[in-house]
Amino acid sequence: MSCTISGIGLAGFGTVGSGVWQILQEHGGLISSRSQGSAALEIRKIAVRDLAKKRDADAPAELFTTDLMEVVNDPAVDIVVELIGGTDAAFDLVAAALRAGKPVVTGNKALLAERGAELFALSKEHKAPIHFEAAVAGGIPIIKAVQESLVGNRIESIAGIINGTSNYILQRMTEAGLGYPEALKEAKDLGYAEADETLDVNGWDAAHKAILLGSLAHGFLIDYKEVYVRGIEKVTPLDIKFASDLGYVVKLLSLVIERDHGAIEIRTQPSFLSQKHILASVHGVFNAVAVKGDHLGDSLFYGRGAGQGPTASSVVSDLVEAARNSRSDRGFIPYQESGKLVEIDETSTSYYVRFSVTDQPGVIANIASILANHEIGISGTHSPVDADNPDAAFVEMVFLLHKCPFGQLKTALAEVEALDCLTARPVVFRIETL
């Protein structure tokens, strides 16, 4: 059976790039057979910063270059793969490839979340698709599921644990009682966290992925500057213990929820989640995305969210798609000019609020009075006695609050903070009922 070979230009040959090379060397024949010859793939150019650097896979020296644009300009390259990260050089490379009419495969969620509007416009203008399965949840085929398998559904909600580093850290804080610094160090020692862990722990890695999922599900480009994001850096063992005592776990959740009149609520933050919810059982560096469609109902996508094998697998999947449909409008083209995001202050959930207070008469009544004045109901309070220090002058008090708009809660808490009995700012977690 004759077939046409698609030439691949690979920008970046680190962990994922090496994995792509290894998969194509090991399974190239299988991929071609499964695609009936329509997706025979051959890497013909590899751009790297340092030719002398030792790498995880051996490729012929004549394939390598330090000129990034060679992977675009080489006439033997039909599809460009961007795996260098960042939003500057990566943007220039992807834009050049699209202007040359060459399909692009990328795992760069920050690039697409922050500069996707420009790139998708170029994609449409030059009829060169952008494929980005590897940008969200590693090896989990969530992009194709949203674009293809769920195309007949209105997607009502997406709830995901889509950053493995944060999930591992929170799990170790829960199971071993570690503080955040100790759990982070352990994650770094095991290679689960980068040397610069910022994007993982501050929530933005997960938020970028949620932005892409939200754009796909609802058809318009979401401005990352309008998205509410909080990380796990300030989560304490105390709050994790309270969560456990109350029947919850703390998870970094990314949510995309359709509200009234098609408005979209999108946010990423550490939240309380019932121990009985299926996402509560997602441990370690694994990812999971729960999707609810109006006809399908609930579905769960679960797997490894990062690492060489899973991410390279998604890149190869996109390469096959690009080779099969190299001049189609596949990828993502917004089908709505704009959409509405729900302001964060208008979003409503129940809440856990912890107050550090001096132990004196009337504290509970004073706080409860302020909450009542702002029409915020209390579903329960929790203030355990420290057995080692029952006469402590300072205590931690937890209020579980009924569902109300976040802005309403903020206004009430600003008034509570003015009370003389408080020794620190209140700590707030949303209680999610997914």
- Residue pair 229/203 in contact (Cβ under 8 Å)? The answer is yes
Dihedral (C-alpha) 144, 146, 147, 152: value to the nearest 10 degrees? 130
User: How far lies 114's CA from each of 88, 164, 282, 309, 430, in Å?
Assistant: 11, 21, 28, 26, 26
Strand partners, 257: 157, 265
Catalytic hit among 209, 241, 276, 403: 209
Q: Which amino acid is at 336?
A: Q
Q: Does the annotation count 209 as an active-site position?
A: yes
Exposed e or buried b for every residue in 42-65, given b needs 16+ CB within 10 A? ebbbbbbeeeeeebeeebeeeebb
Q: From CA 125, how far away is CA 98, in angstroms rounded?
A: 9
CB-count exposure of residue 10 (10 Å: 0-12, 13-18, 19+): buried
Instruction: Indicate the helix (H) or strand (E) that contains 100.
Output: none
Nearest 5°: the CA angle 72, 73, 77 is 65
Task: Give the number of other Cβ atoms within 10 Å of residue 392's Cβ.
Answer: 12
102 secondary structure, DSSP code: -
Residues tagged active-site: 209
